[in-house]
Amino acid sequence: MNIERGRPEGLHYFLVVATVFALALVLNAQVTSDRIARAADEPQNWLTYSGGYASQRHSLLKQIDPGNAKNLELKWILPDQVFGAWQSTPLVANGIMYVTQRPNDVLALDAKTGRVFWQYRYTVSPEARVCCGSNNRGVAILGDTLYMGTLDAHLVALDATAGRPLWNVEVGDPRLGYSITMAPLIVKDKVLVGVGGGEYGIRGFIAAFDAKTGKEIWRFHTIPAPGEPGSETWKGDAWKTGGGSLWVTPSYDPATNQTYWGVGNPGPDWNSDLRPGDNLYTDSVVALDADTGQLKWHFQFSPNDTYDYDSVQVAVLADLNWRGTPTKAMLWANRNGFFYVLDRTNGRFLFGTPFVKVNWASGLDAKGRPIATPQPPGQPTWPGNQGGTNWYSPSFSPSTGLFYVSAWENYASIYRKEPAAYVPGRNFPGGGANPVTPVPGAPGVRIGRTTPINNWTDAVGKGTVMAIDPQTGQKKWTFQQYDVTDSGILTTASNLLFTGGREGYFYALDARTGAQLWKTSLGGQIVNGPISYAVEGKQYVSVISGNSLVTFGLRE
């Protein structure tokens, strides 16, 4: 802007306007918990891991729709500088995207062009150990501060403008196998996070930290100590190494002030004989008061689990007219192969049915407890070790009323139990699981794709996007892929569904019918959930494929 000389009033006017404008920017940049609670009011942003406290991964943006999805085109690519599966979900606030990359880097970039503002590199302690790769799934934002959990189980606060650390606190001891891979959740003035390490005999916990100072406010152990409620589900000292890790971001209902956490497998993973009892709160959802960490209710999906059926799925919250009754529901497709509808105010089981082939249980009883049918040693168990689904995010569309999930079909494992001796910081498996393959020694489905060749083929498992009607558990439609898929799902208010898979195809489907409207071949495996946002009135969709963060918009 040019300011004419000799017109001080003009300059004055400019300064006032500039100041107001700058102030507005600063205010606008302050992400509050209240804004996250009303994320629907600002669909141009993606303020928390699952897009909102209800974790529906449903964008209200409608500019891209079934009619024009064919006009999607590449806008920009950000290549990662490290190798390995990139599972992060970016956040977008006011046109700036924040994304983590391995092992614990954070990048801030222009969401319109992909150009990077800053990069923060956290040095992970060599003591860190994780079972399944140096994963990180993203940051949380509050005010102008970002929060990241680290592989060595620290929580780091960063200045979102400068990319510099503000504080750093130890959450768990990495030498004992504690780690953090999930994106934290902000509720009010606290940062909530849980620890991973379910393969190392940890005793899992969730903790809340003061967002300003990093001071710990409360802690809830997912494995109760003797005398605490739930301790009757453990015998002897098994609780000390009972697992119960947390590695996906919880959901939150401001109306009840409850946070909902999916809890991981018991330890040792595969030998339930070493830990008799139901092993609460492993493989459960726990509802915790956001202010105090007090347990409000729990529901256990897989008691005394011997199949590694972590319940680390994102709890999807939906207000439904469920079978004629207004219901504050929680929708959950579990790794154990069952789809559940719960009353999220009290944890009451409303309904459950398998969504993939299941033979470890013959069904669920009236309270939702599985009727166990363990298979003879050496015989296949469905679903296999990675489950009917896993950590990757599902979606719920209030527009279609359908729940969408990436599932693995035709996939089984043969489990074995072995003795397990706990050595601090060492793997504590108690057995193992091998995917059922058509011939011995053939490649089974791995945790991720690392080669461009699918050498396990559909003989070992295949991926399906399922649209499930929460009223009945029936599949309204399915979308088949050849390889399995670990892609999350995004739906939009314009009835689009975006998802990918290990093959590197990125699809836009009609959320009502499953019809494919658009696809592109990105090459690298998609193991995160797509997001949508808008900058300067233009809608974008971002997804990570292989080592590239890729963003699409409509052709102009």
Partner 1 sequence: MPFTNTGLAAWISCLLIATAVPAGAQQLLNQDHPGQYSQEDIAAGNRVYNAQCTLCHGRDGDQVSGVDLRRGVFRRANTDEDLARVITSGTAAGMPPFRLQPSDLTGIVAFIRAHFDTTAAVRVGDAARGRAIFEGKGTCSTCHRVNGRGPRAAPDLSDIGVARAPAALERSIREPSSALMPIHRPVTIVMKDRTIIHGRRLNEDTLTVQVIDDKERLLSIAKRDIEVLDVSTRASMPAFADRLTADEIADTVAYLLTLREP
Residues that bind partner 1 (CB under 8 A): 82-85, 126, 128-134, 151, 425-427, 437-443, 446-448, 450-460, 480-483, 501, 503, 505
Question: Smallest distance from the beta carbon of 522 to partner 1, in angstroms?
Answer: 13
DSSP characters over 453-476: S--S-TTT-EEEEEEE-TTT--EE
In this structure, what token pair is assigned to residue 540?
């974008």
Residue 90 vs 501, nearer CB to partner 1: 501
Tell me the three-class secondary structure of 76-119, residue by residue. EEEECCCCCCCCCCCEEECCEEEEEECCCEEEEEECCCCCEEEE
Question: Smallest distance from the beta carbon of 503 to partner 1, in angstroms?
Answer: 4
Question: Smallest distance from the beta carbon of 199 to partner 1, in angstroms?
Answer: 8
Sign of CA dihedral 288, 293, 295, 300: positive
Query: How does 166-203 read in b/e, with b if 16+ C-beta sit within 10 Å?
Result: bbebebbbbebbbbbbbbbbbbbbbbbbbbbbbbbbbb
Question: Smallest distance from the beta carbon of 480 to partner 1, in angstroms?
Answer: 7
Residue 279 vs 481, nearer CB to partner 1: 481
Contacts of 67 (CB under 8 A, 6+ apart): none
Residue 38 vs 426, nearer CB to partner 1: 426
CB 389 within 8 A of CB 407: yes
Residue 87 vs 145, nearer CB to partner 1: 87
In this structure, what token pair is assigned to residue 358?
């299941």
Cα angle: 434, vertex 365, 477; to 5 degrees = 65
Question: Smallest distance from the beta carbon of 84 to partner 1, in angstroms?
Answer: 6
In this structure, what token pair is assigned to residue 363?
């069904």
Q: 328: buried, middle or exposed (CB in 10 Å: 19+, 13-18, 0-12)? A: middle
Query: What Cα–Cα distance (Å) separates residue 135 from each residue in 83, 105, 108, 490?
Result: 11, 11, 18, 21
Residue 253 vs 486, nearer CB to partner 1: 486
φ and ψ at residue 18, rounded to 5 degrees: -60, -40
Question: Smallest distance from the beta carbon of 429 to partner 1, in angstroms?
Answer: 8
The distance from CA 553 to its chain's CA centroid, rounded to whole angstroms, is: 24
308 is catalytic: yes
Residue 198 vs 470, nearer CB to partner 1: 198
For residue 268, whether the previous peptide bond is cis, meaning omega lies within 30 degrees of 0, is yes
Residue 182 vs 465, nearer CB to partner 1: 465
DSSP characters over 309-336: ----SPPEEEEEEETTEEEEEEEEE-TT
Residue 278 vs 483, nearer CB to partner 1: 483
Contacts of 330 (CB under 8 A, 6+ apart): 251, 260, 285, 315, 316, 317, 318, 340, 341, 342, 343, 344
The distance from CA 241 to its chain's CA centroid, rounded to whole angstroms, is: 25
- DSSP conformation class of 376: P
Residue 117 vs 482, nearer CB to partner 1: 482
* Beta-strand pair 58-59/489-492: parallel
Contacts of 74 (CB under 8 A, 6+ apart): 520, 550, 551, 552
Length of the chain: 556
Residue of 80, 105, 152, 308 with catalytic role = 308
Residues noted as catalytic: 308
